[in-house]
Structure 1
Amino acid sequence: MPEAPLRIAVAQLPFPVGALRENTRRILEAVRAARDEHGADLVLFPELAVTGYPPDDLLLRGDFLAAAEAAVAEIAAACTGITAVVGAPLRRDGGVRNAAVVLAEGREAAVAYKRRLPSYSVFDDNRHFTPGEAPCVVPVAGRQVGVLVCEDLWAPAPAADAAAAGAELLVSLNASPFHDGKQAEREAAAAQRAAETGRAVCYANLVGGHDEVVYDGASFAVDGRGRVGARAPLLADGLYPLTVAADGAVDGPQAPRLAGPEAVYPAIVRSTADYVRGNGFERVVLGLSGGIDSALTATLAADALGPEQVLAVMMPSRYTAERSLADARAVAEGLGVDYRVVPIDELFSGYEQALAPAFGDRPPDAAEENIQARIRGNLLMALSNKLGRLLLAPGNKSELAVGYATLYGDMCGGFAPLKDVYKTEVYRLVDYRNGLGAAVPQPVVEREPTAELRPGQRDQDSLPPYPVLDAVLRRYMEDEAAPGELDVPGAGAEQVRQVVRMLYVSEYKRRQAAPGVKVTRRAFGRDRRYPITSGWRQQPEALAAGPSRGEN
């Protein structure tokens, strides 16, 4: 009689950092549903599901670790008639371990310790954990299952060691953050391990936003030849059943693999919703200028929270065109968000009068431009405080990279949805969203970018054209190319040096920017850690004439 397939349920669920009681409840509910509703032999949870990932320096607290261990004991008691593999931090064998705990028949049956501890990108496991050394293989419903934790799947040795120890299939618990194209990278890594070992691989991933990352789920399984046989949806919470046959064949959900705007847009929406609500807010406020960045930010907010939770504020000055007023109103009315107009020209005049004795006969420059931005930031922060709304900053990655933003002005905010979105990608996201239903009016899309802080101002007066700027930034920041290696069509050597210089001298601004979700391979923040004060910016290759718009 053929051996029955192993029935696995993947708990692709959100597990917020530090929410141990909520996470424990969610795990217990999933264990019961996997056993009673799906008839699963095995239920898999993400990496550090008990505590959320990454808990960072909460792991230095003894009371936090004790609470996590108590939660594991509570979950173990409920694991009867099913085996569960649950991620949790454990104090074991002289260190704190990033563990995958195997629970069966009301007790801890085995434990796998994460062996490869990353300290790059958003990860800092080496700071908190002691690595494991040995493979973990456990019997489940007559099959030998090798247990891996996240990074262990990305190198040959852990999978090979588990196979050598008798594993007939491999399971991997993960908290793998999203960036565009990450689904394909994960599946390729799993396929490589399957090809090397001849074992099927089941990959369980976390879902939901946490600070500057969003976990996209997209859990999957590959057969013994590395072919994807099951894939859970991107960014969707759920308990997804699949089977692995004795010959390694996999059967389960068949969600598509997504990339580009159709992956990035929902990732930003999910991150925005989870960040706002996770920090105790329900409603948001933002400035709506009539430009494409604020229009997209308003659209993302309305999609994430509902239009009734969004307040958009237009703050015209003497330089604001009638077109901007009309476009901002059209965006707000089209989305159905609350819309207010708060003029700033009288306030701006007051600043000019107050500062006139100190400014003397110096001609207007970035100082006056930044005053306008800071008036707007101050008004938005006042509305945030008074109305209990989180302020969203609309700035994009291109502007933040080169400092084309004003501290305590347009950079004000508790969250920046577009922080890791290049300007050229803003247009792609708008095109994608408009394809789902009209959101950003075409006049906004077609308008030449302008900050409207002086007569006739255009972004291109201070910056290279955005396609050129973004191409230089991608090559320099994400590929780590040297300025002399930046062969970008349309970018001369002087433009390249200008962009590199602006990138370095703007580091202090970025340190004071609102957090925003990572959607590219190399995001500002934990992903890219450069010094503020550095002589490297003075190297000849990094010098160029012309600073960004204002030094602050």
Structure 2
Amino acid sequence: MKVAIAQINPTIGDLKGNLEKIISKIDRAKNLSADLIIFPELSIIGYPPRDLIYNMDLAKAIETSLKEKIAPRSYDIGIILGSPYYEDKNIYNSALFFYKGKLYFRQDKTLLPNYDVFDEKRYFKPASNNIPIKFKNKLLGITICEDIWNDKDYWNRKIYEIDPLEKLASQGIDIIINISASPYYHGKISLRIDMLRHIARKYKKEIIYVNQVGGNDELIFDGTSLVMNKDGSLAWIGKEFEEDFVVIDTNKLSRENITINEDISFIYKALVLGVRDYVIKTGFKKALVALSGGIDSSVTACLAVAALGKENVLGIYMPSRYSSKESAIDAEMLAKNLGIEYRVIPIEKIFSSFIETLNPNNRVFMDNAEENLQARIRGNIIMFISNREGYLVLSTGNKSELAMGYCTLYGDMTGGLSVIGDLPKTLVYELARYINRDREIIPERVLRKPPSAELRPNQKDEDSLPPYHVLDPIIKSYIEDNLTVEEIIKLGYNSELVENVVKKVDSMEYKRRQAPPVLKVTSKAFGVGRRMPIAWRRNW
């Protein structure tokens, strides 16, 4: 059997655009004499649709499109398409199998995840059964994303009471098919391959895994669809962070020596894709970055150029009385190296006017209020340019700062998208070194000088924060690994330091709730996957 794999990048709710992409892939598969084509989970409307799934106009449009545009194209090819299915006031997350001009078979998603970024029990009703389907003399076991993530032998536990794959395997299936929208975090591809390898060997079945690619809001989907032999070897693996298409013959599967080295380049590619899709899918064409001459804004600008092209990125440098000559030189040099438009807008006059209005006798206190005022002046300037000239502002704060609240509401937190908000500071430096791997794009001094907000004389981040090489592992232990204070201390960290860091993280939720969406590249990002209350206290 010749199977086409269509790893596509859908836009949420763009039914017409997604259908054009789907139909073009069906036509291509037909031209290559494929017997079957497989698309990712919910690919007709994109994943995750969230409450858009309740829109009944959309529901009717989906039903009409499936009947009039997909079914008629299935007379001479099987089509497995991810789509919501509306029935008796219930909504199912379904794999719809069209063949011979009609809906030939339907398999609903059985396991509905309700953790981290997932909220599927809010929307969908689970499948009532798991039944194989005979096609071209092959018995196919069709599953949807989470349905393959519950193997008790691999995880040494079961999240769910039932295992759809176990049910299907007991019915003598020949091939496991999984259509998926599996969001990326660093290490996810390697984990997924390892898990699928275990499943292939356990059940002695070939696996065809088709994953969505693209950025949808905070989530980035890596693609990396694959075909796996019964022994767990890879017959084919799709591109990561790009659309892909292939036709494979299940009777002639090769055994490729494929290895995945999920290094810093994967985070780079993920963020570039996340920026590009967020900007384009929200209707913008160009982005603005407030350059400071520091590491965070430099990395953000580099990612923006890689995503959108240098002609679509604007850098703004806004010096104050506390800005160093070195920062001015470094910001300009970065812009020159990237080839982007660069503007300098000093804030001294505006800042002095505020001081004159707000401070008695024009006295300068150099307190937090004045530091934050400078950041907020800059936020106003970049939003003015955004409004007037149509740029999407990219926020430049990192995960360490967001965790500790070392950021200013309506100041440096201003923006439509937080590009590196899920990167701890130490990882920002690693990404900067990767960006400079072939030539110096980010000035070398930016990587060497102590990080500073430059909001008062001789200011350094470490005046307010622990050293990042100490802080970042504590934040990871608390946020990503979900360790208790006591468990983190046992790792060898000072007890007072750990308690202070955790207290700061807990108390800064009100700031993070007002931050722009954060592109997710670790196992636990601030935002949709970490739903903490704002008005609470640690008192136990």
Indicate the TM-score class for this superposition, using the shorter chain for normalisation. over 0.9
d(CA) in 2 for partners of 1:494, 1:176 = 39
SS at match of 2:97: strand
Matched, 1:70 2:64: yes
Contact 1:53 1:175 in 2 (8 A): yes
Q: Are the structure 2 counterparts of residues 29 and 256 from structure 1 closer, same or farther at C-alpha, using a change threshold of 3 Å?
A: farther
How far 1:355 sits from its partner (Å)?
Answer: 0.4
Q: Counterparts in 2 of 1:58-457, with a 5 A limit?
A: 58-73=52-67, 74-92=69-87, 95-156=90-151, 157-245=163-251, 250-251=253-254, 257-357=260-360, 363-457=365-459
- Summarize the Cα distance change of 1:304–1:180 in structure 2 as closer, same or farther, 3 Å threshold: same
Residues 515, 259 of structure 1: alpha-carbon distance in 2 compared, 3 angstrom cutoff: same
| Pairing partner for 1:485 from 487, 510, 513 | 487
Work out the percentage of aligned pairs sharing the same amino acid: 38
Compute the TM-score of the two structures, normalised by the length of structure 1: 0.93
1:250-281 per-residue CA deviation (whole Å, 9 max, x = no partner) reads 33887652413110001000110110011111
SS of equivalent residue, structure 1 residue 333: helix
Q: Deviations over 1:366-423 (max 9, x none)?
A: 0000000000010010011111100011001110011000000000000111011111
Cα drift, residue 356 of structure 1: 1.4
Indicate conservation of the 8 Å contact 1:241/1:253, yes or no: no
Number of paired residues?
A: 528
> Which whole-Å CA distance do the structure 1 matches of 2:337 and 2:365 have between them?
41
Scaled by the length of structure 2, the TM-score of the pair is 0.95
Deviation at 1:122, TM superposition (A): 1.3
Deviations for 1:7-53, whole angstroms, at most 9, x for unmatched residues?
Answer: 2111011111100011111111111101213x222111000011111
Give, in angstroms, the shift of residue 364 of structure 1: 2.9
Deviation for aligned residue 1:190: 1.6
Q: 1:194 to 1:252 in 2, by over 3 A?
A: closer
SS of 1:435 mapped into structure 2 = coil
* Residues 360 and 352 (structure 1), Cα distance of their counterparts in 2 relative to 1, 3 Å cut: closer
Indicate the residue corresponding to 2:158 in structure 1.
Answer: none
Q: Deviations over 1:275-314 (max 9, x none)?
A: 0011111111111000010000110001100011111011
**Do 2:233 and 2:256's aligned partners in 1 also have CA atoms closer than 8 Å?**
no
Residues 254, 347 of structure 1: alpha-carbon distance in 2 compared, 3 angstrom cutoff: farther
Q: Secondary structure at the match of 2:383?
A: helix
Could you list the per-position Cα deviations for residues 136-157 of structure 1 after superposition, in whole angstroms to 9, with x for gaps in the alignment? Answer: 3222222111110010011242
* Conserved 8 A contact 1:289-1:328: yes
Given that residues 34 and 247 in structure 2 are in contact (C-alpha distance below 8 angstroms), is that contact kept between their aligned partners in structure 1?
Answer: yes
Secondary structure in structure 1 of the residue aligned to 2:311: helix
Question: Which residue, 7, 15, 38 being the options, matches 1:44?
Answer: 38
Taking the aligned partners of 1:91 and 1:367, their CA distance within structure 2 comes to 54
CA RMSD of aligned residues (A): 1.7
Tell me the SS of whatever aligns to 1:109: strand
Map 1:510-525 to 2 at 5 A. Answer: 510-525=512-527
Question: Could you tell me whether the CA contact under 8 Å between 1:223 and 1:250 is conserved in 2?
Answer: yes
